[in-house]
Amino acid sequence: MRNAKLIRSMSRKGCSPDNAACEGFFGRRKTEFFYPRNWQDITTDQFIKIVDYYIRWYKEKRIKISLGSLSPFEHRVSLGFAA
């Protein structure tokens, strides 16, 4: 880092609580999204569209028990944070 004159933007190595949310998302994405499919005949443009759809679904529509069986979007609306 010093040789490249870069500034670290994340916590120290091995401080996993800082990365837990991202690690959980990427692990879930691999399990739900990547592993069940055969990607051989998918073009790069198709792949980008499929990933975009999955991320939008994940952020807005998936049902979470911890949110009272609401989607994240519905939960934000119920709290008055979204319209």
For the stretch 18-64, pLDDT in tens is 677 778 888 888 888 888 888 899 999 999 999 999 889 988 888 98
- Cα–Cα nearest to 33, from 20, 12, 22, 47: 47
Average pLDDT of span 53-81:
90
Q: pTM above the 0.85 mark?
A: no
DSSP line for 5-74: T----S--TT-GGGGHHHHHHHHHHIIIIITTS--TT--HHHHHHHHHHHHHHHHHT--BGGGTSB-HHH
Taking the CA atoms of 53, 23, 75 and 36 in sequence, report the sign of the dihedral they define: positive
Give me the pLDDT at residue 78, please. Answer: 92
Whole-angstrom distance, CA of residue 59 vs CA of residue 77 = 13
Whole-angstrom distance, CA of residue 18 vs CA of residue 6 = 20
Average pLDDT of span 55-76:
89
Per-domain residue ranges of the chain: 41-83
Give me the pLDDT at residue 44, please. Answer: 94
Give me the pLDDT at residue 69, please. Answer: 93
